[in-house]
């Protein structure tokens, strides 16, 4: 490139000084002072410009920036040179802008007021009419999964500073990306004009006055995804200094210009990972010399890989908090049960004078913490039978130190118009939030402790019944509900006649998954006994037996995207190895396969996704061999 020659050619003036401002990740920017004026000149990345769509993208982006300027949005647009926003000169592409006085802000300089202004500008950009400049929305659907293993085989991989970090993380990527793709597609309905790169580096501030620069990525795209990403950028996420107040104020200010209530924000949050994985792939290939031999670019890309891996890990940890912060802004006022908990406290001696805190207003139960106690209030009449079932379990396990203690329960509705119970507060976090951080040895010890908890009620003698009939009826009912008529299911039932002839009876939790297992400093507890039944003890592993292929199915939104198959591939082996009574049940492995088939059939019934039915049939055929 020859900036001086370019300026002479197009009458921009005689060059006095050239100062590199930034560049390397995509393009190079220079502050150029001539005897006419001071410009900002962008020299575009040759690798980017070699793409067939790039030239048109730049033309579209400048149409958008000029539309924004027309609507009084403070922007910096490319100057026209001989009728073009983009000029090819000596095999390089150039864009010229008036130099904007001001500066970009570092994260520590960004205030709440700055975030308010960005939220307002973003709302105004998303309100622009793309039809005015003859643009059309193009809704993208992603199914991209990448060959992450292949980069390890590259001849340059072992030289990379990110080698160990990459090896520690890459195996989980396609598991997460598959779900991110699905949620990206589900959340990609709305389309507006978007800047698509409005982070702090692309907003110049002259005092308190912002000017939005660098519109090269602008297009018609999904506005919710851009709002989320910009809120992250302006709240310090990229520099690992995330500020909840800055994040929230972006949404609050934006909502004055566009409605954000009727959006599935969890899908938006998870779908937003697609771009980060694409950026990781791009920089892996740049750093390894696959798509670039420029040493400066390769070095910058190497650092970007390290940074992006760290960002993905921190993003996964932040998903639950982001969803909660957004929901606080958009959720309309729900039923308030504070008066009910106050009455409960006044009528129970062990609670009197104690302060309360709402834990969750669930679909079926509202839960409060009152110092060392948990108060569960059945605020959905349809759940009352399950609620009584849990009380019955606690009463049968009064002396069992392995389950939470029930202090009091009331199903009379005399003092308050709801069933409620006072139970022991269990310290800790759901095991989903911890498992992926544990070592193999810690996981084994956790499984052993969970087995001890399960044994404490599995070992309780109870009346026996035809459990074979119970399992077969479950299969028959779900096949009927799903309108399935296939000879293969009759053969499965014939196998069940053999597999379920002998059983070991006890009390079952009947909903054992890691969101119901609480972990605290190595101690393991089980909660939520509303579905407890009597049956063969192996039936309590119907969900855990599926963790080797779909462990996230029972995770909360906070831990869903943190949960991947590779962390659970040996889970059932650990249970079988350490739980003798389970291991010695005849046909135990075949029985666990049947439970997995039942769960897959439930998924098919509920979603009508043929993949679940196909997977069920694959497992049945495996049993029939």
Q: Is 157 exposed, middle or buried (0-12, 13-18, 19+ CB in 10 A)?
A: middle
Q: Which residue has the higher pLDDT, 59 or 392?
A: 392
Q: pLDDT tens-digit profile of 107-121?
A: 999 999 999 999 999
Homologous superfamily (CATH) for 107-329 = Aminoglycoside phosphotransferase (APH), C-terminal lobe (3.90.1200.10)
Predicted confidence band of residue 216 (pLDDT cuts 50, 70, 90): confident
Q: pLDDT tens-digit profile of 586-601?
A: 999 999 999 999 999 9
Q: pLDDT tens-digit profile of 139-158?
A: 888 888 999 999 999 999 99
What was the pLDDT predicted at 612?
A: 95
Point out which residues pair with 18 in neighbouring strands.
32
Q: Write down the architecture of domain 338-424 according to CATH.
A: 2-Layer Sandwich (3.30)
Rounded CA-CA distance 34/17 in Å is 7
Domain spans in the chain, listed from the N-terminal domain onward: 3-98, 107-329, 338-424, 434-624
| Residue 605, both tokens | 């019934």
Beta strand segments in 50-91, E? 87-89
Q: Phi first, then psi: give them for residue 338, nearest 5 degrees.
A: -60, -40
Angle at 604 between CA 489 and CA 364, to 5 degrees: 120
276 touches 184 (CB < 8 A): no
Rounded CA-CA distance 87/11 in Å is 13
Class of domain 434-624: alpha beta
Pairing of strands 92-98, 192-194: unpaired
Instruction: Give the three-class secondary structure for 424.
Output: strand
Q: Span 313-338, mean pLDDT?
A: 86
Rounded CA-CA distance 528/421 in Å is 12
Rounded CA-CA distance 576/560 in Å is 26
Q: Span 326-330, mean pLDDT?
A: 90
Kindly report the average pLDDT of the chain as a whole number: 93
Rounded CA-CA distance 463/456 in Å is 17
Q: Span 601-619, mean pLDDT?
A: 95
Residue 186 predicted with pLDDT over 70: yes
Edge-to-edge strand ranges of the sheet holding 429-430: 429-430, 517-520, 523-526
Spatial CA neighbour of 276 closest among 308, 238, 236 = 308
Residue 332 predicted with pLDDT over 80: no
Q: Spell out the residues 6+ positions from residue 155 whose beta carbon is closer than 8 angstroms to its own.
A: none
Q: Spell out the residues 6+ positions from residue 566 whose beta carbon is closer than 8 angstroms to its own.
A: 171, 172, 175
Beta strand segments in 52-170, E? 87-89, 92-98
Q: pLDDT tens-digit profile of 76-105?
A: 888 888 888 888 898 888 989 888 888 899
What was the pLDDT predicted at 625?
A: 87
| Residue 515, both tokens | 């969101």
**What fold is seen in the domain 3-98?**
Phosphorylase Kinase; domain 1 (3.30.200)
Residue with token string 């500008």: 121
Residue 49 predicted with pLDDT over 90: no
Predicted confidence band of residue 334 (pLDDT cuts 50, 70, 90): low
What pTM, to 2 d.p., does this model score?
A: 0.85
Tell me, yes or no, if the two domains 3-98 and 338-424 fold the same way.
yes
């Amino acid at each position: 490139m020859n900036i001086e020659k370019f300026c002479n050619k197009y009458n921009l003036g005689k060059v006095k000084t050239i100062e590199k401002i930034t560049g390397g990740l995509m393009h190079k920017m220079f502050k150029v002072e001539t005897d006419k004026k001071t410009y900002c000149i962008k020299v575009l990345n040759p690798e980017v410009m070699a793409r067939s769509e790039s030239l048109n993208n730049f033309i579209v982006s400048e149409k958008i920036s000029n539309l924004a300027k027309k609507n009084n949005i403070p922007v910096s647009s490319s100057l026209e040179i001989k009728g073009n926003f983009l000029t090819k000169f000596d095999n390089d592409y150039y864009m010229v802008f008036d130099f904007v006085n001001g500066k970009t802000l570092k994260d520590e300089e960004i205030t709440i007021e700055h975030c308010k202004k960005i939220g307002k500008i973003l709302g105004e950009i998303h309100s622009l009419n793309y039809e005015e400049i003859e643009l059309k929305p193009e809704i993208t659907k992603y199914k991209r999964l990448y060959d992450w293993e292949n980069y390890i085989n590259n001849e340059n991989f072992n030289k990379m500073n990110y080698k160990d970090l990459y090896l520690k993380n890459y195996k989980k990527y396609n598991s997460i990306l598959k779900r991110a793709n699905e949620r990206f597609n589900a959340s990609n309905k709305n389309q507006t004009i978007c800047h698509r790169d409005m982070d702090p580096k692309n907003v110049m501030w002259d005092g308190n006055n912002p000017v939005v620069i660098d519109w090269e990525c602008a297009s018609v795209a999904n506005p919710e995804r851009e709002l989320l990403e910009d809120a992250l950028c302006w709240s310090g996420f990229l520099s690992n200094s995330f500020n909840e107040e800055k994040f929230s104020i972006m949404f609050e200010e934006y909502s004055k210009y566009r409605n954000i209530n009727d959006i599935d924000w969890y899908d938006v949050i998870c779908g937003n990972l697609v771009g980060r994985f694409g950026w990781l792939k791009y920089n892996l290939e740049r750093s390894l010399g696959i798509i670039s031999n420029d040493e400066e670019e390769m070095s910058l890309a190497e650092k970007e890989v390290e940074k992006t891996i760290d960002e993905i890990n921190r993003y996964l940890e932040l998903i639950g908090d982001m969803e909660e912060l957004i929901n606080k802004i958009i959720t309309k006022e729900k039923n308030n049960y504070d008066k009910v908990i106050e009455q409960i406290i006044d009528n129970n001696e062990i609670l009197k004078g104690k302060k309360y805190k709402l834990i969750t207003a669930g679909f079926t139960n509202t839960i409060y913490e009152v110092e060392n106690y948990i108060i569960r209030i059945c605020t959905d009449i349809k759940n009352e039978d399950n609620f009584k079932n849990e009380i019955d379990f606690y009463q049968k396990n009064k002396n069992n130190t392995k389950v939470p203690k029930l202090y009091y329960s009331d199903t009379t509705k005399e003092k308050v118009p709801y069933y409620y119970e006072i139970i022991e507060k269990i310290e800790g976090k759901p095991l989903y939030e911890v498992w992926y951080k544990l070592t193999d040895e810690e996981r084994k010890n956790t499984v052993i402790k969970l087995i001890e908890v399960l044994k404490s009620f599995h070992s309780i003698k109870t009346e026996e019944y035809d459990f074979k009939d119970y399992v077969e009826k479950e299969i028959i009912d779900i096949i009927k509900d799903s309108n399935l008529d296939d000879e293969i299911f009759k053969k499965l039932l014939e196998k069940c006649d053999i597999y379920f002839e002998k059983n070991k009876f006890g009390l079952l939790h009947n909903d054992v998954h890691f969101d119901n297992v609480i972990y605290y400093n190595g101690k393991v507890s089980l909660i939520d006994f509303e579905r407890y039944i009597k049956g063969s003890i192996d039936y309590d592993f119907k969900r855990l037996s599926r963790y080797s292929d779909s462990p996230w199915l029972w995770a909360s939104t906070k831990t869903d995207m943190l949960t991947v198959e590779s962390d659970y591939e040996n889970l059932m082996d650990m249970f079988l190895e350490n739980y003798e009574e389970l291991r010695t049940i005849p046909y135990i492995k075949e029985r666990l396969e049947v439970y997995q088939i039942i769960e897959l059939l439930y998924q098919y019934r509920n979603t009508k996704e043929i993949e679940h039915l196909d997977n069920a049939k694959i497992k049945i055929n495996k049993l029939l061999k």
